[in-house]
Structure 1
Amino acid sequence: MMTVETFTEMALSFLGTEQAPHFERVGFKVVGKRMFASYLLKDNTANIFLTPAEQGVFCQMDERNIYPVPNKWGEKGATTFELNEVQKEIVMEALLSAYNEVVRSEKR
């Protein structure tokens, strides 16, 4: 089981990241750029903003605990991770992918 502290530490471990409120969630973004993940304390889940292709790969790893957000954002790659069940290494890999995509897309 991953705690809020562990997830927060992981999300903020990337260069130039910050934490900010995002509705009922806590958002994590690259400073001056867009968000790459959010966390919801009440159910210990994270939404990580992947590309649709990456989303497909991560969902295949654990279809029960990694799945598209059930709305338009999910169709664009927003992916829910059940942090009570998903391995820390998989979450870190997803966070890194999402972070890198924000950094790359902002340079274009």
Structure 2
Amino acid sequence: MPSIAEFVEIVRGFPEVEEKPHFEKISFRVKNKILATLSEKDYRITLKLSEADQDVYGLFDPSSIYPVPNKWGKQGWTFVELNTVHRDILMDALKSAYTCVAPKHLVDLLNKNS
């Protein structure tokens, strides 16, 4: 189970990620597109995944990774419970979210540095 500080350190390490307020949460963006938000009070993040990735990660651990229960969930927005998700699965899901929103040249840079 990663801590909030570990999550923030990981996502800040991706190329050109910026941290900005988003309502009562913190958003992490690349080229102003949100890849993740953090709700510290809920100890939960929300990721932008493809529908296919959302399905796959949900199969790994449906109690820790699941679609947002509204129309946003049908667009790939996915809750991740930080207090129960395995760190390796979180790392993979974060990379998938980054790949979903980042320009190709930044995805290539991330893959080169991984």
The reply to whether TM is greater than 0.5 is yes
Structure 1 runs, 4 residues or longer, greater than 4 Å off: none
Retained in 2: the 8 A contact 1:33–1:102? no
| TM-score normalised to structure 2 length | 0.86
- Aligned equivalent of 2:81: 82
Tell me how far 1:9 sits from its aligned partner.
0.6
- Aligned equivalent of 1:14: 14
Count of residue pairs brought into register by the alignment: 106
Gaps of 5+ in 2: 107-114
| TM-score normalised to structure 1 length | 0.91
Distance 2:15 2:36 in 1: 15
* Aligned Cα root-mean-square deviation (Å): 1.7
Retained in 1: the 8 A contact 2:43–2:82? yes
- Aligned equivalent of 1:63: 62
Could you tell me the percent identity over the aligned residues?
A: 40
- Aligned equivalent of 1:42: 41
Gaps of 5+ in 1: none
Distance 2:16 2:103 in 1: 14
- Aligned equivalent of 2:109: none
Distance 1:65 1:102 in 2: 22
Distance 2:66 2:12 in 1: 23
